[in-house]
Structure formats: C-alpha cells, structure tokens
Amino acid sequence: MRYSEMFLPTSRETPSDAEVISHRLMLRAGMIRKLTSGIYSYLPLGYRVIKKVEQIIREEMDRAGAQEVFLPAVQPAELWIESGRWQFYGKELLRLKDRHNREYCIGPTHEEVITDLVRNEIQTYRQLPINLYQIQTKFRDEIRPRFGIMRSREFGMKDAYSFDADDSGAELSYKKMFEAYNRIFSRCGLSFRPVEADSGSIGGSFSHEFLVTADSGEDGMVYCTSCDYAANLEKAEIARPEERHIDESEFLPLEEIYTPDVRTIEEVSAFLNVTTQDIVKTLIFSADDSPIAVLIRGDEEINEIKLKNYLGCDSLELATDDIVHEVTGAPKGFAGGIGIKSEIIADYSLINMRNFVMGANKQDYHIKNCNIGRDFKIKDFADLRIVEVTDLCPRCKSPIEFARGIEVGHVFKLGTKYSKAMKATFLDKDGKEKYMVMGCYGIGVGRTMAACIEQNNDEDGIIWPFSIAPYHVLITPVNIKNKELLSMAEKLYDNLEGRGIEVLLDDRDERAGVKFKDADLIGIPLRITMGPKKLAEGKVEVRFRKSGEVREILFDDVEDFVVQVVKREQ
C-alpha cells in the first residue's frame, strides 16, 4: 500500500477523553474513530489488525475441530423467553420491535440461537460431538462503556459452542478450546494467564478467563508463586484453616456490655479497646427472600459471589432494616449469633476464634467472650471472604501474588443449562433421550487488539508483534523528490510484495522527521530507511521498531533479509 493513497489520519494530539494508552494510541494512529458512545468505526489500519487477529483465531479454531458458521445478529424474543434470559438479562440487552410489534434483541451472545439450530438438526449421539463458532458483531448496552474498543457497546466476538453426549465428552471439548486459546493468545504476542473464574450458579470449576497482564486491566487476579494455580479475584479460594482442638476451659463467661450508639466494627473496637480481629461481624442477607446470618472476622470482607454460590440462590442482597429488626429484634449495628432467628453460616476465619465480641441482638449492647458451640450453633463453616495477599495458595500453601489483567477470552462449561431449558435432546446409544452437554467459548477480537497495544508500546507509539502487525515493513524514502531514490524504493516495494510481504511505502512528500514520527506511532515492526548518502554506498538502514536496533544492509540483500526476518518472526 502506498501511504499517500491510504486513509490513515494520524495525529500528534493526545485525545483528552481517552483514559488508557491503547485507546489514545488507536485514535492517534488513525485506527478507530468513535461514532457515538461505545460504538466505533475501524479505519483501514485498525481493520487490518482485526483481520489478522481473526485469522489466527480461525486457524486455531479449525485446527481444534470447530466449524465456522455465521448466525443472525437479530434474535427473536421467544428464544430468550424459552431460556429464561429475556427477564434476567436486564438492561444490557438491546431490545427492539418490528413493524408487527414482535419483539427482538440484538445478540449480546448466541447460546439461544445456536441451541435452537442444533436441537432442530441433531437427533442422535452419532452426530455428536459438534463445535460451531462464528466471528460476529455483538451488542451489549454496557452501563459504562470506556477505554475505547476495550469495553464498547458494539464489538466483535468469536463465540464457539460445543455440544457433547456426556460430561466426559464435554470436558474434552473444553480442554481442546482451552489449548486453542493458549495458542491463539501466544500467537498474538500476548503475555497472559488463564485463571479460574466464577462459573456462577452453574457450578463446577469449569470456567477460565484468559487475562492479559496489564495494570490498566479491570480484573484482579491471584496467582501462586510456586504452582500454576491462578484465579480471578472473585473466585480465588482460601484453604480451610487447620482446626485447633477446642478446650472449653479456655472459654470465659459471657459479658453483656452497654455500647450506646456504637455500631461499626471500628467504633466497637475503639469503645471496647479490642482489635478488629477480636470482633465478629454479623451480616444479615436476604437470599431469594429468606434471611440468613453470615459471620466473619471483623477485619475481613465478605465475597458476595462466594456466598451466593455457597447458598445456590438466584438473588442475594443485604437485608433491609426491617428484616434485620425482625431477625435480631434490634436495629442495624447490634446483630450477633446468640438468639438470632435465622440460620447462621460462618466464614473459615471464625474456626479458631475464641471469646470474641459480637452484637447482642439488643439495641445498644454487645457481648464479650462469645464462643461457637457453647453459646450458639452454626449451620456450617465456609470459604466466604475476599482473598488477601497474606493468604496462601489453596493448592500448595505457597505465597500468592496479586496482579491486574484484561479479560480477552472466556471458556465455560455450561452443562445442560440451555439444553434443558430449550429441550435440546438426542437419542443415546441405548435409545434413551438425553440432554446435550454444552460449553461456550468467547474471545473479544477488538479487546485482544487493544490488550496487545497495552502491552506493546513506548512513548513514541505502538510496537506491533509481527503476527498481527498491520504491515510487516514500512519503506521510507527520505525524499521523494529524488526520483532515483523513489524508483528504487518502489522497486523494493514491488519485489517484497511479490514475495508475500505486507509493505507500506511512505511515498508522501513530507519531511523525514514527520515520516519517522508517524512510523513510530503506527508501529510497523520493520522500517527500511532509504537516503541518498547511504544509497550511494549501495546501502539502506533497517530499523527494528521493538528493539530500536538499526542495521545497515546492502540494498541488494535487503529483500532476502526482510523475507527471512518476517518468516522467522511470524
């Protein structure tokens, strides 16, 4: 491509409304433009990268045995009513009506459509397993679109769906996708980690997010410094502490203390002159409308996702003041385990606590020296709190570390959630009707491109890895008024293109400084600079964008040199 003819509007200005580096650089490098909130156009340079990422995805999905389809973006409400999601998906789902007043949505994901397709076509176990994927535009009316195409409302996604006859088949399909994802993100030049993720009420540990490590990432992760355990912050497990033998002689007598208007953990700690670790917090939740008391050590925080999974409920929220009053007989701030009118579960942090402070279920009173067993019963101990950096790896007990990441992909074992709701059945070997076991697997195409820029940039601009660079080589004749120079540059351009190299020729009538600035900004991995002085010696300069290394190479050799480098780095 000739730069002079390319629609490539670069800019020196830093866009004021772009918070992260990838967004700023994509705007400055003329890759994307905003149409309206969360909706972007891809310009030629940006779209070339998108197509590269898509190509890598296609190759690896095909290699893993998945087949490409293309499903409709507009989906009828009936399917979503069948799956139960028309009601639950909420405001992220863009709903619309046609001229006959029928309801539709623009697909934020395609489980319903694919399940409908497959249930109509697949009848027996002989047709299974099957894995279908597509690369398509999704729409999610995100509450806070931001970071450019990283969290937009309209975005490109690769989504795949596997259908198996049984659980072990589904696990194999999952494993194949897991491996394909590792290859895809490695080939895109990313440094990433697959982390265990929450699989919601569906259960099981069969969900992994692929997080690209970046400080600007919205997701937190925990990883072990010794084994390969890694998990999303929400999911990160805490091992059950070893239980100390209970020696009842340690138990001190209960003591009710007048604590007027002392409610928060900090207030109680200051008032009673005890540490927050000596206090137990009692939180009352409404889980599917029934109250439950949850106990946790005063200095720890509840992880509501863990709690929700433990309870297996659909909705979970902190109870209203009225419910707290009903259950404890006191206003908020004085709840405790003794005499409470609901079931109690306690976080592992309480396992070895003795003689702790709790609310007395009585206005303006707390109780000292409470002990589980002697003073009140609980239903269970469970892992309910948010992990901290001082916790140890739940697998091997080594220290853990925290990092931030950008979720670029998600693999998920769905089980029979959709096949049951939508009656996607098949006849098994023994002639019995069974539900297909499903998996779903997504990759954000634009987000992958953005994540790559987050990891590969410097103060001058983007540094593309060869695999997804919009072009491999940029040829920069420093002065196009020099006809001989230009014609040699054009010759090199033709020859390289002829050998399958993707070349951008900067044939603009601009100063060399301007050309170099743009070259660094758009980040093409190799730049061949052609100037009259060096050419008089028969040489050109090849500069590697990533390392900054410059090599002088004979003009006659440069073609082979470039071909070699590109073949090696691809």
Provide the binding-site residues for ligand ATP, judged by CB under 6 A. Answer: 109, 140, 142, 151-152, 155, 157, 407-410, 442-444, 446-447
CB 24 within 8 A of CB 34: no
Nearer residue to ligand ATP within complex by CB, 417 or 545? 417
Closer residue to ligand ATP (CB): 41 or 352: 41
Comparing every residue's Cβ against ligand ATP, the nearest one is: 444
Shortest reach from residue 367's CB to ligand ATP, in Å = 42
Question: 53 or 553, CB closer to ligand ATP?
Answer: 53
Distance from C-alpha of 440 to C-alpha of 107, rounded to nearest angstrom: 15
The CA angle 347-351-357, to the nearest 5 degrees, is 80
- Distance in Å, CB of 155 to ligand ATP, minimum: 4
Strand bridging mode 461-462 / 207-213: unpaired
Pair of tokens at residue 359: 């609310």
Question: DSSP states of 113-155 as a string?
Answer: HHHHHHHHH--BGGG--EEEEEEEEEE---SS-BTGGGB-SEE
Residue 302's Cβ-side half-sphere holds a number of Cα atoms within 13 Å equal to 23
Cβ distance to ligand ATP smaller for residue 198 or 300: 198
In whole angstroms, the minimum distance from the beta carbon of 198 to ligand ATP comes to 10
Nearest distance from C-beta of residue 141 to ligand ATP, angstroms: 10
**Residue 116 and residue 79 in contact, taking contact as beta carbons nearer than 8 Å:** yes
> 3-state DSSP call for residue 318?
strand
Identify the H or E element spanning 51.
helix 44-63
Separate counts of helices (H) and strands (E) for the chain:
15, 31
Q: Which is nearer to ligand ATP, 291 or 444 (CB)?
A: 444
Instruction: With residue 404 as reference, give the H or E element that holds it.
Output: strand 400-415
Q: Least distance (Å) from ligand ATP to the CB of residue 54? A: 13
Instruction: Rank residues 198 and 559 by Cβ distance to ligand ATP and give the closer one.
Output: 198
Contact in structure between 490 and 524 (CB atoms under 8 Å): no
Choice between 39 and 421, CB closer to ligand ATP: 39
Write down the least CB distance from residue 211 to ligand ATP, Å: 9
What is the phi/psi pair of residue 305, to 5°?
-70, -40
Cβ within 8 Å of residue 470, ≥6 positions away: 45, 46, 48, 49, 52, 464, 502, 504, 522, 524
In whole angstroms, the minimum distance from the beta carbon of 277 to ligand ATP comes to 33
- The tokens describing 343, both together, are 């079931």
Per DSSP, the residues of 233-262 read: TTT---PPPPPPPP-GGGPPPPEEEE-TT-
Q: How far is the CB of 158 from ligand ATP (least distance, A)?
A: 8
333, two tokens: 């701030």
- Of residues 348 and 412, the one with the C-beta less far from ligand ATP: 412
- The two tokens of residue 9 are 């509007």
Which is nearer to ligand ATP, 34 or 447 (by Cβ)?
447
- Which among 485, 539, 540, 522 has a CA at the least distance from the CA of 507? 485
Pick from 90, 87, 136: nearest CA to 114: 136
- Which of residues 440 and 463 has its CB atom nearest to ligand ATP in the complex? 440
Nearer to ligand ATP, 155 or 493 (CB): 155
C-alpha span between 237 and 458 (Å, rounded) = 37
Question: Rounded to the nearest whole angstrom, what is the least distance from the CB of residue 410 to ligand ATP in the complex?
Answer: 3
Closest contact distance (angstroms) between CB of 461 and ligand ATP is 23
Write down the least CB distance from residue 398 to ligand ATP, Å.
Answer: 28
Least CB distance to ligand ATP at residue 229 (A):
21
SS3 283: strand
Closest approach of ligand ATP to the CB of residue 218, in Å: 6
- 155 vs 471, beta carbon nearer ligand ATP: 155
Taking 3-state DSSP, the helix, strand and coil percentages for the chain, each rounded to the nearest 5, stand at 30, 30, 35
Nearer to ligand ATP (CB atom), residue 304 or residue 460: 304
Residue 302 pairs in a beta bridge with 385
